[in-house]
A and B are shown apart, each in its own frame.
Chain A
Amino acid sequence: MLASSPFTNQQLLYRSLLAGEDAAFEYLYRLLYQRISGYIFASGGTRDDTKHVVHESIITFLFNLHYEKYQWREEAELATYVVSIARHKWSEMGRQATRIVSLDLTTLPPDAEPMSENDTDEPDFEQRRLLVDQNMKLLGDKCRTCIDLFYFQKKSMQEIAAHLGWANEDVAKKEKYRCLRKLRLLIGLRPWND
């Protein structure tokens, strides 16, 4: 399966992930699943657990990729880094559920590298994502549509202004800011003040 991948080198994969290309995510998904599933099953996990770990690891990895916490290194394989995130996620899940009795070091994927302090100090993106999804419903129609069009559908502010009947891009940007402030309050984050 992987042999037919168009990702002939790590840099291409890196760029394609940053651009949000579906083929790149599928490639990473396959790779991560293959490398981490044995480890998870060996420590009592299920397919659903593996799916959960894969999704959350890729989401965290994307944060590190976008905000330059992951420093590009020519010789490093991206998947190795994601495996280390996945291993950490699974350990966290185990701690939370007190399900993993003991992690035998021999079951660790051989290519997993230790994570640095910086890789683990992010907020719980899963919890926040669920809160965003739930609280979007509590926003007014225009706010909900504005956030949906910009962040989920990647439309430009000009398109959003035209769609929602706002005078221009500047007005739309201010409205977006106002909507995000409301959303932050709803999900219990520190308020933004003018």
Chain B
Amino acid sequence: MTYDQFDLFDQYTNKTLPDAKRQALEDQLRDDPALRDSLRDYQQFRHSLDAVPLNRQLNRIHDRLAAQGFFDENTSDRPPVPLSSSFRRRRLVLVSSVVVLAGLLIGAGYWLTKPTLAEQTFLTYYQPEPVARGEMACSPGLLPGIQLYRTQQYEPALQQFTALSASQPCVSYYVGLTQLATDQPELAVHSLESALKPAITSPPLIRQKAEWYLAMAYLKANQLTKAKSQLIRIAQQPDQPFRNVAQQALADLSHD
């Protein structure tokens, strides 16, 4: 595999390949079995690398669950001890009553706290900015705040960002992103709208991400009309990395 092919596959896998190039590659893959094999080989090798931190993550989860006693509750290396039938009957009645009562309470709770369509769509599509690639295009002064954001230390991250001048590229974006993560959707809307003002010259990828998170902020703030308009704007841009997911979100919203 040449460097150029590797770079192409890398961008394709990272979903950073522009739409037109991605489409061209997919067309080529359909007709070229050797290219398909090369991509497969790249993906398998790539996954062998990605599996190293994933296995470490699973080990941490295992240790955490062990400390909580999860495995003692959920597994038994011992044969099960039969219960006496009368005790089993009483337990069955008790458990059934609890289940019926819990069902009624959950049902009532659901109808009282049923999320709106906007909230439901937000819950489905929102996630904190997941991958730390690309923010170096912003000012280096933002990096300490970004590191805090990545580790979900949102309050100190917000302090870091708000200490910077809002006229700097990327600052309003990260302020808005952090406000959204800390359940302040109205403030996030304001910051992300500011990030998209023409006077602010942020890197293109940051502007595209700001457009997406503004749509999320509108949903969270229950501003459904604005959210739909924003999603349509994203879905109409061929090079928008959030184009597909915006189309899916619009389809979900249209079920209303």
- A residues engaging B (CB < 8 A)? 1, 8-9, 11-12, 15-16, 19-22, 25-26, 29-30, 33-34, 37, 41, 46-47, 50-51, 54-55, 58-59, 62-63, 66-67, 122-123, 125, 128-129, 131-133, 147, 151-159, 162, 173-174, 177, 180, 184, 189-190, 192-194
Contacts and interface: CB of A to CB of B under 8 A. Distances in A.
Contact of A22 (B3, B61, B124, B134): B61
Contacts of A193: 1-2
Interface stretch (B48-56, B90-98, B184-192, B227-235): B48-56
B64 A26 contact: yes
B44 A29 contact: no
Contact of A177 (B6, B59, B137): B6
Nearest to A15: B127
Contacts of A63: 43-44, 47, 51
Interface in B87-127: 123-125, 127
Interface string B59-103: 101101100001100111100000000000000000000000000
Nearest to A68: B43
A158 B136 contact: yes
11 contacts: A8-B123, A15-B127, A25-B58, A33-B75, A47-B71, A47-B77, A51-B62, A62-B47, A63-B43, A133-B52, A177-B6
Interface string B184-222: 000000000000000000000000000000000000000
Given A15-B125, A37-B74, A47-B75, A147 B136 contact: no
A180 B2 CA distance: 12
Contacts of A12: 123-124
Q: Which 10 A-B pairs have the closest CB atoms?
A: A158-B136, A128-B48, A156-B133, A192-B1, A151-B49, A19-B130, A152-B53, A129-B51, A63-B47, A37-B75
Contacts of B75: 33, 37, 41, 47, 50
B237 interface: no
Nearest to B132: A154
B7 interface: yes
B49 A147 contact: yes
A36 B131 CA distance: 32
A158 B125 contact: no
B135 interface: yes
SS class, residues of chain A in contact with chain B: helix
A50 to B, nearest CB: 7
Nearest to A189: B45
A158 to B, nearest CB: 4
Contacts of A123: 44, 48
A153 to B, nearest CB: 8
B244 interface: no
A8 B6 CA distance: 38
Contacts of A26: 61, 64-65
A180 B5 CA distance: 14
A174 B2 CA distance: 11
A59 B6 contact: no
A41 B77 contact: yes
Contacts of A194: 2-3
A125 B48 contact: yes
B175 to A, nearest CB: 21
Contacts of B48: 123, 125, 128-129, 131-132
Contact of A29 (B2, B10, B62): B62
A16 B132 contact: no
Contacts of B137: 158
Contact of B124 (A9, A29, A190): A9
A124 B76 CA distance: 30
B57 interface: yes
Contacts of A133: 52
Contact of B133 (A41, A131, A154): A154
A151 B50 contact: yes
